[in-house]
Amino acid sequence: MTRTPSPTGPRPRGRARRALLCAALLAVAVQTTAAAPAFAEGSARRDGRDCVRTERPLDGQARRVLDITRRAKAEFRLKSVELKVTRGGREVVTDALGESMTGVPARPDMHFRAGSVVFSYIGTALLQLVEEGKVGLDDTVERWLPGLPKANRITLRMLASNTTGLHDYVTDPAFLAELGAHPFRHWTPQDLLAYPYSHSFWYRPGTNWSYSHANYLLLTQALEKITGTRIDRFLKERVTGPLGLDNTRNNFTPDIPRPVLHAFTSERGLYEESTFWNPSWTTAPGAVITTHICDLARSAQAIGSGELLSHRAHRTLLDPGTVGLGGPTAKCPATVCVKQTGDRHFGLGVLVVNGWVVQNPSFSGYAAIQAYLPSDRLAIAVSSTKTAGSPDGNQAEVIAQRIAAALAPRTPLAAG
pLDDT per residue rounded down to tens, the chain (416 residues): 333 333 333 343 444 344 444 444 333 333 333 333 333 333 334 444 689 999 999 999 999 999 999 999 999 999 999 999 999 999 999 999 999 999 999 999 999 999 999 999 999 999 999 999 999 999 999 999 999 999 999 999 999 999 999 999 999 999 999 999 999 999 999 999 999 999 999 999 999 999 999 999 999 999 999 999 999 999 999 999 999 999 999 999 999 999 999 999 999 999 999 999 999 999 999 999 999 999 999 999 999 999 999 999 999 999 999 999 999 999 999 999 999 999 999 999 999 999 999 999 999 999 999 999 999 999 999 999 999 999 999 999 999 999 999 999 999 998 55
157 with 250: CB under 8 angstroms?
no
36 with 88: CB under 8 angstroms?
yes
178 with 169: CB under 8 angstroms?
no
Alpha-carbon distance 245 to 268, whole Å? 33
Say if strands 344-346 and 289-291 run parallel, antiparallel, or are unpaired. unpaired
Alpha-carbon distance 271 to 293, whole Å? 25
| Burial class of residue 110 (count of CB atoms within 10 Å of its CB; 0-12, 13-18, 19+) | buried
Determine the angle formed by the axes of helices 117-131 and 311-318, rounding to 10 degrees. Answer: 140
Q: Which residues pair with 382 in a beta bridge?
A: 83, 369
12 preceded by a cis bond (ω within 30 of 0) = yes
pLDDT digits over 87-128, tens only?
Answer: 999 999 999 999 999 999 999 999 999 999 999 999 999 999
**What pLDDT does residue 362 have?**
97
303 with 35: CB under 8 angstroms?
no
Q: Where are the beta strands (DSSP E) in 237-392?
A: 249-250, 264-265, 272-273, 289-291, 344-346, 351-353, 356-359, 362-363, 366-373, 378-386
2 with 415: CB under 8 angstroms?
yes
Q: What is the reported pTM?
A: 0.90
57 preceded by a cis bond (ω within 30 of 0) = yes
Four-CA torsion 80, 85, 90, 91, nearest 10 degrees: -30
HEC string of 70-115 equals HHHHHHCCEEEEEEEEEECCEEEEEEEEEEEECCEECCCCCEEECC
Following DSSP, what letter does each residue of 3-64 receive, concatenated?
A: -SS-S---TTTTHHHHHTT--GGG-B----PPPPPPPTT-PPPTT-TT--PPPSSP-HHHHH
- Look up residue 349 and give its DSSP letter: S
**What pLDDT does residue 49 have?**
63
The CB density around residue 301, as the number of other CB atoms within 10 Å, is 27
- Look up residue 238 and give its DSSP letter: I
**What pLDDT does residue 81 have?**
98
406 with 64: CB under 8 angstroms?
yes
| Burial class of residue 149 (count of CB atoms within 10 Å of its CB; 0-12, 13-18, 19+) | middle
267 with 183: CB under 8 angstroms?
no
C-alpha distance from residue 409 to each of 88, 354, 403 (Å): 17, 12, 9
Q: Which residues pair with 318 in a beta bridge?
A: none
* Nearest to 371, CA basis, from 38, 49, 15, 23: 23
**What pLDDT does residue 42 have?**
35
253 with 78: CB under 8 angstroms?
no
